[in-house]
Amino acid sequence: MAEVRPAPGAGPAAGKAAPIGRPVVMLVLATAGFALNFWAWALLSPLGPRFQDELGLSAFQQALLVAVPVVVGSVGRIPVGALTDRYGGRAMFAAVSLATIVPVLFLGFAGHSSLTALLVGGFFLGIGGTAFAVGVPFVNAWFPPERQGLATGVFGAGMGGTAISALTTVRLVDARGTAFPFAVTAVLLAVYAAVAWTVLRDAPGRAVPREPLSRRLAETCRMAVTWQASLLYAVGFGGYVAFSVYLPTYLKNQYGLGQTDAANRMAGFVLLAVVMRPIGGWLSDRIDPVRVLTAALAVVTVGAAIQAFAPPLLPLGTVAFLAMAAALGAASGATFALVARLVPGNRVGAVTGVVGAAGGLGGFVPPLVMGLIYGTFGTYAAGLDLLAVVAAASALFTGTVVRRAAAGRRTG
Q: pLDDT, tens digit, for every residue of 127-170?
A: 998 998 899 889 988 988 778 888 888 898 887 787 788 788 88
Q: Which pLDDT belongs to residue 8?
A: 39
Q: What percent of the chain has pLDDT over 70?
A: 93
Confidence band, pLDDT 50/70/90 cuts, at residue 190: very high
Could you tell me which residues come within 8 angstroms of residue 99 by beta carbon, excluding any fewer than 6 positions away?
127
Locate all alpha helices (DSSP H) within 18-88, ordered by sequence. 22-41, 48-55, 59-75, 77-87
Confidence band, pLDDT 50/70/90 cuts, at residue 410: low
More confident residue, 43 or 12: 43
Q: What percent of the chain has pLDDT over 90?
A: 33
Q: Which residues pair with 208 in a beta bridge?
A: 5
Task: Taking residues 103-122, report their average pLDDT.
Answer: 89
- What are all long-range contacts of 398-402, with beta carbons under 8 Å and residues at least 24 apart? 398/232, 398/290, 398/293, 398/294, 398/297, 399/290, 399/294, 401/228, 402/228, 402/232, 402/290, 402/293, 402/338
Residues in the chain: 412
